[in-house]
Amino acid sequence: MIITGKYPNLRLRRNRKSEWIRRLVRETNLTVNDLILPIFLTEGINKKIPIKSMPGIYRYSINKLVGILDRAIRRKIPMVALFPYTNPNIKDVLGSEALNENNLVCRAIRYIKKRYKNEIGIMCDVALDPYTSHGHDGILKKRKILNDETIDILVEQALLQAKMGCDVIAPSDMMDGRIKRIRQRLDKENLKDVQIISYAAKYASNFYGPFREAVGSNNVLKGDKKTYQMDFRNCNESLREVSLDIKEGADMVIVKPGMPYLDIIRSVKDNFKIPVIAYQVSGEYSLIKNGIQKKIIHEKSIIESLMSFKRAGANAIITYFADTINLDLFN
């Protein structure tokens, strides 16, 4: 970059002297249109269960979704993402509950579509970890995650969610080749308008702990996920993952986690010019939320964190702050 001029003729502080001029020359903006709201589901009636490691976040029974969805629609949040807490008694090694048309996610999709039609979009994860007794995203055999056998199940899971009314299918499993198989099956079933948002650059991160508590996989996970999620030391590998998923039919891609991976967001955006979604994951949320509650940092740090994603090139952000953030802080 070449900056023409020099001090004292050039005084960059002139463009910071007043609030109005700072707004006028602002390079990055954030609105509710940029936010996706994750919602945790639980079985039962009239249930709103706090998640201990995520202050202010709850699991909702389906009939209690009205409050959070009404608020999201009033705020004009474009889309929600659904995540189930599965009863341990119905988990098995194959994650069979993922293919049950009356599982928690499928019933929630039907409920939302019946009540709200297309007032708000629905995104659903395609992965087996909420349903497997070992906590992994795929089929586990002799301590190895089987790629192709897992895809066979993921394709059926994606098809089921789409038939229930899910708008955006989000494979988060990190199996090689699953985007192509899912896209082909959706198209074959005349579900060509269902979008695929791929967790293309998903890292084996230490920031997922609170999420695993929320979906109930934290106490059952055997081993780690390093053989299918990416090494956090790698950058170029993320471009290969994204490139393959785009070629296979992904409409958008997710970088997960968010703040520790701003360089990845920028690199993906610069190289592919595709809609990029940042996921501000549970560990990021809990760190910021606890810092605010203990008055270590200011509430405005939420906006600062979200703005960093936009500045890095993200088109949208999956964030647990979406429905509680003070909208006045946007200004």
- Cite the active site residues: 202, 256
**CA atoms of 169 and 189, how far apart (whole Å):** 15
- Select from 197, 224, 192, 194 the least CA-distant residue to 208: 224
On the question of a cis peptide bond just before residue 260, with omega within 30 degrees of 0, the verdict is no
In sequence order, what are the beta bridge partners of 48? Answer: 60
The DSSP output letter for 231 is: P
- Select from 236, 265, 270 the least CA-distant residue to 253: 265
Q: Quick one: CA torsion of 119, 80, 184, 103, rounded to 10 degrees? A: -100
- What's CA 198's distance to the chain center, in Å? 10
**CA atoms of 217 and 157, how far apart (whole Å):** 19
CB-side neighbour CA atoms (13 Å) of 16: 3
- Select from 27, 34, 20 the least CA-distant residue to 327: 34
Report DSSP letters for 84-121, one per residue. Answer: E---GGG-BTT-GGGG-TTSHHHHHHHHHHHHHTTSSE
- φ, ψ (nearest 5 deg) of residue 206: -90, 5
**CA atoms of 172 and 127, how far apart (whole Å):** 6
Contact 118, 165 (CB under 8 A): no
